[in-house]
A and B are shown apart, each in its own frame.
Chain A
Amino acid sequence: GEDVEQSLFLSVREGDSSVINCTYTDSSSTYLYWYKQEPGAGLQLLTYIFSNMDMKQDQRLTVLLNKKDKHLSLRIADTQTGDSAIYFCVVGGSQGNLIFGKGTKLSVKP
């Protein structure tokens, strides 16, 4: 079935870049998303990319999409302690539904 895979944990030092990777089996939606979730909070839309784009940059965030390899990545430049959270890769399924990855927990060490 449709699936989204992402690594569960990532640890980086403050000031370094973080790269969170995601692979998916299929995507039928116009958008592919990254959401951020802090402990005890809701899912905050971090950024998204149109399926016909290769790259999107938004301040410290860079999203890369490789449709051929079905690979999506999120790069956070100059990672700060406030970036510590769980990041979800989300794509659209063939039934019009959203398919969520399990989330990558980003830990930022001072």
Chain B
Amino acid sequence: DAGITQSPRHKVTETGTPVTLRCHQTENHRYMYWYRQDPGHGLRLIHYSYGVKDTDKGEVSDGYSVSRSKTEDFLLTLESATSSQTSVYFCAISSGGIIYFGEGSWLTVV
């Protein structure tokens, strides 16, 4: 499982509230990613990181911000959650060019 832990695994939140999802890895991987999975869209990249304090946008970054203040943690923040951000969020790491995913965080915005 490449030592990836996501938290929380499930969350229900109200529209307009901030939400932070955490991805924690134990194996010092440089590259970390946040994806969202939605029916009919497959997985889409939100943001990724290539090192501490080094991040970049993916294809669906609007409404999301990320931070990586230490190698092991990559945080995804929804500044003001909207119903369109109800989704399953997956963190991933790259190990030798192979991508491994976390177990997912199910987020519902009501």
Contacts and interface: CB of A to CB of B under 8 A. Distances in A.
Interface of A: 29-31, 33, 35, 41-45, 48, 88, 90, 97-98, 100-103
Given A29-B97, A45-B101, A100-B42, 5 more contacts: A31-B97, A33-B98, A33-B99, A41-B104, A45-B99
26 contacts: A29-B97, A31-B98, A33-B98, A33-B99, A41-B103, A41-B104, A42-B90, A42-B101, A42-B103, A43-B43, A44-B101, A45-B98, A45-B99, A45-B101, A48-B98, A88-B43, A90-B99, A97-B45, A97-B58, A98-B43, A98-B99, A100-B42, A100-B43, A101-B42, A102-B42, A103-B42
Interface string B28-72: 000000000000101101000000000000110000000000000
B42 A97 contact: no
B90 A43 contact: yes
A62 to B, nearest CB: 19
Interface in B56-110: 58-59, 90, 97-104
The majority secondary structure among interface residues of chain A is strand
Contacts of A44: 101
Nearest to B99: A98
B98 A42 contact: no
Nearest to B4: A42
B93 to A, nearest CB: 11
A102 B44 CA distance: 11
A103 B104 CA distance: 17
Contacts of B59: 97
B14 to A, nearest CB: 24
Contacts of B40: 102
A90 B43 CA distance: 10
Contact of A42 (B45, B58, B102): B102
Contacts of B99: 33, 45, 90, 98
A87 to B, nearest CB: 12
Nearest to B48: A97
- B43, B97, B104 pick with most chain A CB within 10 angstroms: B43
